[in-house]
Amino acid sequence: MISGFDFEGKVVLVTGGTRGIGRGLCEGFLELGARVFTCGRKEERLEETREAFLRYGERFEALRCDVTNSSELRELFKIVEEKESKLDVLINNVGMNRFTPFLLDADEATWDRIMAGNLKSAFLVTKMALPLLKSSQGAKVINISSIAGRRASPGMGIYSIAKAGLDMFTKVLGAELASYGINVNAVAPGVVRTDFSKPLWSQPEMLKEIESHIPMARIGEIEEVVGAVIFLSSPMANYITGEVFVVDGGAQVW
């Protein structure tokens, strides 16, 4: 039987790991013994995360980086490469949205920002990570997508388009990187209890309406997304690539 979820000696990079799902992922991999790097744009959030994870010592490092900026990414990977000779797991977790009631009313800057945060960043990070991923034995890339990429969602038009693009990015890379022994998959959560989705679940009537369309009759929790990512990052998922795993309590069933 393949050994399960032991990440001792593994090196993990989680982009956008200072809050929400990203932070949960950092903690999940640290609890399983991994060496974890994360990055973010805001120094105050990075410092708060460093302090929260002090118990993990040198196994955790939080670095400032805008993952939509190539020059900042080069500096990030320079630091990682000085400390580690491989990268076993890459989690492209950075994502952002801005409410857009009508797609064609959005301005070009809003389009560019949402596309960069959700899609371009995954391309740039994975491209720069590839040499380190090739140095691992059985590296895994996991992209954090959304069920918004599978259906048109009111107020989330550009975000939905970007996540649909991320799903295809996952499939293309799953095929192209298979010859290097690198698996590429995505996890697409539904509504999860994070700050990102707080405008939805913090309003009782809206939450009730959302949950009425979910067979499990509740929204998701961060640890439930973390579990799916850890599975896909483990040897248990060695024969899975190019797939998008939906974690939504059955919302796509109806």
Q: DSSP states of 76-104 as a string?
A: HHHHHHHH-S--SEEEE-------BSSGG
What backbone phi and psi angles, to 5 degrees, belong to 37? Answer: -105, 145
- Using CA atoms, how far apart are residues 85 and 131, in angstroms rounded to an integer? 9
Collapsing DSSP to helix, strand or coil, 180 comes out as: helix
Maximum alpha-carbon separation in the chain? 54
Contact 145, 170 (CB under 8 A): yes
Which among 56, 159, 180, 239 is annotated as catalytic? 159
Residue at 100: amino acid letter: T
Quickly count: other Cβ atoms within 10 Å of residue 119's Cβ. Answer: 22
Q: How far apart (Å, rounded) are the C-alpha atoms in residues 170 and 26?
A: 21
Active site annotation includes 239: no
Assigned token pair, 183: 């698996």
Residue 183 near residue 241 (C-beta atoms within 8 A)? yes
CA 210 to centroid of chain Cα atoms: 23
Query: Hey, which residues are catalytic here?
Result: 159
